[in-house]
Chain A
Amino acid sequence: MTEKPFAITLEVGSSLANKTGNWRTERPVYVDRLPPCNDACPAGENIQQWLYLAEDGSYEAAWREIMRVNPFPAVMGRACFHPCQTACNRAAIDEAVGINAIECFLGDRALEEGWLPDQVAPPTGRRVLVVGSGPGGMTAAYHLRLLGHEVVVYESSPLPGGMMRYGIPSYRLPRDVVAAEIERIVALGVDIECGRPVDDLETALAGGGFDAAFLAVGAQRGRHADIPAGDSARILDAVALLRNAGDGQDAGGASLGRRVVVYGGGDTAMDAARTARRMGAEEAVVVYRRTQGRMPANTDEVTDAIDEGVRLKWLSTIARDEGGTLTIERMELDESGFPRPTGEFEELSADTLVLALGQESDLSLLRSMPDLRPMDGLVPVGPDLMSAHPGVFAGGDMVAGARTLTDAIGHGKKGARAIDAWLDGRSQVIPPRHRLASPADLNTWYFADAPKSVRPRLDAARRASNFDEVVGGLDEATALYEARRCLSCGNCFQCDNCFGVCPDNAVRKVDKAHGYSFDYDFCKGCGLCVQECPCGAIEMVPEEI
């Protein structure tokens, strides 16, 4: 007599005994891909990660993630030209995420709340000299100090900050923000000696008992063009103009006059023209030898300048300055886009001519060190930013590469880590970069349509007479919304799609911090999870058969 139900000869079993995973020829694996914002950031910020943290309101954690790289979130939230946004994959859906505005929000929140950087490591007993207190120098000082080294910064100017204080106009970057973020680094125990130029590096190193040095003297000297000029011509340097404006002085003692002509097409030219307008010039004209489209200046800056009444005169070079009148030669572009003279001249009246033709570094401090001979006005360094002189590293505008604040911060971080490794006798292990997350990796269906939130801007009419900040910040609700527009390219953000779309229940939830894992006992390798992952954080790899 069987105990089993009617017409049953075998015990009822679960299909869990049937390990369908052995059907598989490919297996899904979770991957981290490099988001394009991180890839594009010259400072090397993990932008996707700090946006992820900000998305649920963990602002302090998000700020700390920025601070792992960049000690100037409030400064960079204003002054960075945000190549991250240019690279952002969201632009293919609607508009790039306003990363820069969120960074500004986090930086400001940190200053309001008085959040402090992480603990300084125990003292190493090593002393490092940093020359220059600009973005590169102060970033290096910050990281070296956090690593436990004693750091002294020599600064030739009366106040620290370099180009953050003396180069970028205060309507783009208020000075109290610069001061506050520098003060936070000083509070870690970094010693800044202002008004202390380094005339000779070798003496400074020996005299201070330094084990290593990071040079970041910047590029403070304006390049000059050979323009024949009459005695009454008034020619100024854009760097000097901006420096004096930053110091709160007027344009070097005398008025700029009614009409100011700025010669050059870069960001400094735009800053100079906009500053001249604020200093009372009724007309500011930017003269550039190529076309507007070929100007190296950031497009947003050009737009802002035009809004403020700055005029652009492209395809023009300045042939003579007679004092009050400039002779301009018209140019045309040849097939390769290079400007060539046409022989046609015209006149332009100008009370002051401002030269914004690029800047170079004053490298006289290296005079007595023959192994540190500059090449093309730059200090040659290796990939770890060490120069030919062991223990002397350099970064920022004085080495080859792009010349932005963000690049300088990247150099500061990289240099500090390289110095730490060098002092320790270690060779640095730089992990390989993940594969880039491209738009093709994303399943954009799952992202709700959400246009970018706009940062408030000061009316153009209210800008020209003062140095008030032009671009405002986001309020918390808007910043949170903006952070949540992030597509999290190439990195799991726990949307549960893989967990939901598996026809075989072969995805397991691990925990909040680690997301999911695959149960390869049952995964048949259909690839649905890969296809339906919004952010491209899963890929199929062949099984070894």
Chain B
Amino acid sequence: MAVRFYQVGSFAVGNRLASPADRTIQSEGGRSNSLTSGHRACQGCGEALGARYALDAAMRATGGQMVAVNATGCLEVFSTPYPETSWQIPLLHSLFGNAPAVATGVAAALRVKGRSETRVIGQAGDGGTVDIGFGCLSGMFERNDDVLFICYDNEAYMNTGVQRSGATPPAARTATTQAVGPHPGNSFGQGKNMPVLAMAHGIPYVATATVADLHDLEAKVTRAMSIRGSRYIHILVPCPLGWASASSDTVRIARLATQTGFFPVFEAEHGEVTGVTTIRRPAPVTEYLRLQGRFSHLFDRAGNPAQPEVLDALQAMADENIRRYGLLEATDEVPS
């Protein structure tokens, strides 16, 4: 009998009622745990979660035939304090800025040795991707090297003390964009939209994802591993330390980033958007911002808006995303 409604639909990690194929890789007792316990990430770290989600999916897609190149950054520092490692996959640690170039080299070496079935993943935080590693990454995209590059975007240089990066959103307080003066926090009109920049290179596959939608994230990594050439996945990973949010709210905040339209979730092939994840429970950006201490200067002590013009500008950014990607267009959601 075909009752394809499993109580938690397709949103939870797993479900005893769903067929194994409809559950996530993370629901399996035998998942790779590419990043295992004992790492030194903060409580509720979104990056540790996002890295395990993505790499376990890649391990599954490649049958364990893969190697990762990791730029310097939080992910590297908290996972490999000498002589311990939390990685249960082959991993090379590059410099901060050259992970895409090293990944390119690894792919070339494997090709020369006739081992092209072993796939290469490059990964970095937003600093290593958007700022310091951008030149190497752009070159990698231009050459269409056979690497999946994953950016775990926590929107600032968290490891070194929460300095602003090119991925820091406007108005956010960081160590270098303090909430003082007439325009507190990070400036408007600056920063880089990395997924769109990647699309502009015309590479085979670009996608965004968050730690709040595991089914979507795993599907995108799996899709990316089925393609040869340069691929880019940009994963939003909330940072309780840098965002000054509760450690238990990491997934909730990522979810609100998508439901407010602040972070559009989509995929693109050869520069064209081919799919978007539409908003299921629309919410104003204030619901997203209010949970984060880095935006607390936009609210008074009671949580009411204190800087309405700044909030309006942030809402306008979200509205623009909603318009550009059609995030509120009706889809036929079939309970499954």
Contact residues of A: prevailing secondary structure: loop
B286 within 8 A of A: no
- In this complex, what residue of B is CB-closest to A12? B83
Number of interface residues of A (CB under 8 A): 56
B333 CB, nearest partner CB in chain A, Å: 7
* B3 A17 Cβ-Cβ under 8 A: no
Contact with A along B5-19 (1 / 0, CB 8 A): 111111111111100
- Name the interface size band of chain B: 35 or more
Which stretch, A73-81, A121-129, A335-343, A480-488, touches the partner chain B?
A480-488
A232 within 8 A of B: no
Contact with B along A427-459 (1 / 0, CB 8 A): 000000000000000000111111000000000
- In this complex, what residue of A is CB-closest to B33? A505
A119 within 8 A of B: no
Contacts of A92 in B (CB 8 A): none
With A15-B86, A519-B37, A526-B248 as given contacts, are A501 and B13 in contact (CB-CB < 8 Å)?
A: yes
Interface residues of B in 201-244 (CB under 8 A from A): 214, 240
Separation of A157 and B46 alpha carbons in the complex (Å): 70
- Cross-chain pair count, CB within 8 angstroms: 177
A12 CB, nearest partner CB in chain B, Å: 6
Contact with B along A480-520 (1 / 0, CB 8 A): 11001111100001111101110111100100100000010
A356 CB, nearest partner CB in chain B, Å: 42
B154 within 8 A of A: no
A381 CB, nearest partner CB in chain B, Å: 41
Query: Looking at the complex, which one of A8, A504, A512, A527 makes contact with B16 (CB distance below 8 Å)?
Result: A512
* B7 A447 Cβ-Cβ under 8 A: yes
A439 CB, nearest partner CB in chain B, Å: 15
* B38 A528 Cβ-Cβ under 8 A: no
* B7 A488 Cβ-Cβ under 8 A: yes
* A496 B79 Cβ-Cβ under 8 A: no
B271 within 8 A of A: no
Separation of A528 and B14 alpha carbons in the complex (Å): 16
* B26 A503 Cβ-Cβ under 8 A: no
Separation of A521 and B36 alpha carbons in the complex (Å): 13
Separation of A531 and B40 alpha carbons in the complex (Å): 22
- In this complex, what residue of B is CB-closest to A485? B7
With A448-B336, A503-B41 as given contacts, are A493 and B16 in contact (CB-CB < 8 Å)?
A: yes
Query: Looking at the complex, which one of A15, A55, A521, A526 makes contact with B17 (CB distance below 8 Å)?
Result: A55
A476 within 8 A of B: yes
A: residues with CB less than 8 A from B are 8, 10-20, 23, 55-56, 445-450, 476-477, 480-481, 484-488, 493-497, 499-501, 503-506, 509, 512, 519, 521-522, 524-528, 530-532, 534
B: residues with CB less than 8 A from A are 1-3, 5-17, 23-24, 26-27, 29, 33, 36-41, 43-46, 48-49, 52, 79, 81-86, 214, 240, 246-252, 255, 281, 333, 335-336
Could you pull out 21 A-B pairs where Cβ atoms are within 8 angstroms?
Answer: A12-B84, A15-B86, A16-B37, A18-B39, A20-B37, A445-B11, A446-B11, A448-B335, A477-B2, A484-B6, A485-B7, A493-B7, A495-B14, A497-B13, A501-B13, A503-B48, A505-B33, A526-B43, A526-B247, A527-B43, A528-B44
